[in-house]
Amino acid sequence: KLKMYLYVPANMPKLAPVVVALHGCTQTAQLYMMMSGWNTLADTYKFYVVYPEQQKKSTSPTATDRTGNPYQCFNWGGYYGYEFERGQGENQSIIDMVNYLKNDTTHKGYSVDPKRVFVTGLSAGGAMAVAMGALWPDVFAGVAPMAGLPFYCANSGNQPGSAVEQGAYACMGITSSFTPRTGAGCVSGTACMADDRKHTSAEWVDMVRAHGYPGYTGQYPRLISWHGNRDQYVDFVTDAEIVEQWTSLHGIDQTPDAAPATLKAGNTKHAYAEYRHDGDTLPLVATVKLNNMQHGIAVDPRGSGEDAGGQTGSYSYDWGIYSSYYSARFFGIAGGGTTTGQVTVSLSSPQDDALVQGTVTVAADASADQGSIVSVAFFLDGDAQPFRSLTAPPYSFDWNTDAVTADGEHTLKVVATDDHAGSAQDSAKIYVRTRPATQSCIYATNVEHISAGRAQECPNPYLPGGSPHACAVGSGDDLGLKALSSYVKETSPGYWTKVWLCM
């Protein structure tokens, strides 16, 4: 029963981005909208803003309503005795809001770029933003938590029928002044900030893969985390846990790469760090430490220029740097010094996660709402020079993948540039095979695996009594829900194991 508020700027272009903005505990969508200033940014850079709003829930022992939260927190850690699972409760409600725009359900002319959907939020909203990135990596391209938490650091242990079902608020793991810290049936009395809730990088990744979107092998969203190092409610140490979880998801280490020490020149109230693949220029994970700031978002209402904005208020501080703007710039939907036109480009073939072999068609669609497209360039992995550049449509060609020197995962990127020096890019993760696959490794739906004797039905390990899963015959590896597809490999006669890719 989340409420949905939607902001649509005037004169929206086709294939516009979407930002989902999630308020914190005790806040409303309207309050967060005013403080964060996302609407002003949307007017300038032309994107939709969706504001989900949590509903207050009665704390009466006789209350029968199973939705909402008594403190208006998003239930990022589960709700009322149920674990947090993709497609359930509030996370599904938020996805329904995104789909409302994508599908233009009411025929109002909405046009959304499905590859440019982003999510941000403060506190419980920040924790929910991280959770949405973990649960729905196929929907969100970027995440920007403000005082957030790593995914699955705690889940609600409250049982239906308890006197006060306090949900995620009770499990946030904040200081004792933030009622309540203990005695509320959480996984741990101090939840996410207790020492026994810290994990290794491998453990953090396992939590995402097991409890987020089981069986998913695609790209995870990029993430920028903002956190005050004097936060009195959500310990600053959780920022390091977020870095561990999301750098590991992207297959990069936890050592910051060379980058400017700040996002905004001359501002000494923050420190910036970013994490990239070797040889890449695009950060996949970034952090902004807000020096001496307490719990809240950073705004810059007294500044000037495109990177100033927001309002001070409850959990919103004038820190001389505008977190909403720099998050939008990290997403690639703001900045660049000009708003006179917009370039859009979409890689239509091959699609994300495609397995390619031999000669394949590479195709992209590109347009500029002012001026003309002058170049559409295609890059492989982190190469500085394109392997193909086209100056006129159709932007397609045949590509012999035998020229790729290594089998396995690669990134295919397309960059479109117009005659005003505006540009946009899109990419897809592909798997190149230059050698024939072994016959003992098979990709199929889990139902097909079961029918062929490679798998058997097994109980849902994450939701007792829930929809059954498939498990590989022999190893017993969990392949996920029966409706999903997976790779299995026969390592010895009749013994099948789960693998991420057939090579």
| CATH code of 270's domain | 3.40.50.1820
- Which residue among 123, 248, 327, 367 is the active-site one? 123
> Which CATH number characterizes residue 404's domain?
2.60.40.10
Q: Is there a domain that residue 288 lies in?
A: yes
Using alpha carbons, select from 109, 186, 181, 101 the residue that is nearest to residue 139: 101
Q: Is the same domain home to 321 and 206? A: yes
146 with 200, same domain: the answer is: yes
- In angstroms, the CA 227 to CA 193 distance is 15
Task: Work out the average pLDDT over 443-468.
Answer: 90
Tell me what pLDDT residue 425 has. 85
C-beta of residue 149 within 8 angstroms of C-beta of residue 123:
no
Q: How far apart are CA 2 and CA 499, in angstroms?
A: 38
| Domain residue limits at 389 | 343-432
Output the six-digit token pair for 47: 């994107």
Q: What is the token pair recorded at 207? A: 């939590």
Kindly state whether residue 338 falls inside one of the protein's structural domains: no
Q: Are 228 and 147 in contact (CB under 8 A)?
A: yes
pLDDT (0 to 100) of residue 66: 56
Most confident of 55-64, 151-160, 193-202, 234-243: 234-243
pLDDT in tens, 393-452: 999 999 998 888 787 889 999 988 876 556 788 888 898 876 544 457 888 899 999 988
Q: Is 123 assigned a catalytic role?
A: yes
Q: Is the pLDDT of residue 172 over 70?
A: no
Domain boundary at 432, 462, 483, which?
Answer: 432
In a domain, 337, yes or no: no
Terminal C-alpha separation, the chain: 46
User: Mean pLDDT throughout 273-302?
Assistant: 92
**Residues 13-44 pLDDT 10s:** 888 999 999 999 889 999 999 999 999 999 99
Alpha helices in 103-159 (DSSP H): 124-135
pTM of the model: 0.66
Q: Is residue 229 part of a domain?
A: yes
Last residue of one domain, picked from the residues 306, 331, 356: 331
Mark 19-57 as b/e (b = at least 16 C-beta within 10 Å).
Answer: bbbbbbbbbebebbbebbbbbebbeebbbbbbbbbbeeb
Is residue 287, in this structure, part of any structural domain at all?
A: yes
Q: Say if 336 falls within a structural domain.
A: no
pLDDT at 189 over 60: no
Q: Are residues 102 and 200 in the same domain?
A: yes
Same domain, 310 and 257: yes
| Cβ contact 277:382 at 8 Å | yes
Reported as a pLDDT band with limits 50, 70 and 90, residue 337 is: very low
| Beta strand spans in 14-111 (E) | 16-22, 48-53
Same domain, 48 and 93: yes
How far is the C-alpha of 131 from the C-alpha of 134, rounded, in Å?
5
Residue 260: CB atoms within 10 Å: 10
Instruction: Tally the domains of the chain.
Output: 3
Q: Is the pLDDT of residue 234 over 80?
A: yes
End residue of a domain, out of 401, 432, 463: 432
Q: Is residue 60 part of a domain?
A: yes
One domain for residues 181 and 317: yes
Round the average pLDDT of the chain to a whole number and report it: 84
Q: Is residue 63 part of a domain?
A: yes
Structure tokens at 244: 């561990």
pLDDT confidence tier of residue 52, bands split at 50, 70 and 90: very high
Q: Do 384 and 311 share a structural domain?
A: no
Please tell me whether residues 220 and 268 are part of one structural domain. Answer: yes
Are 427 and 448 within one domain? no
132 versus 416: the higher-pLDDT residue is: 132
Confidence of residue 351 (pLDDT cuts 50, 70, 90): confident
Q: Do 259 and 379 belong together in one domain? A: no
pLDDT at 438 (0 to 100): 47
pLDDT of residue 79: 60
The answer to whether residues 298 and 371 belong to one domain is: no
Q: Which of 329-338, 343-352, 393-402 has the lowest mean pLDDT?
A: 329-338
**Is residue 174 very low, low, confident or very high in pLDDT (cuts 50, 70, 90)?**
very low
Is 307 in contact with 299 (CB distance < 8 Å)? no
Co-location of 326 and 469 in the same domain = no
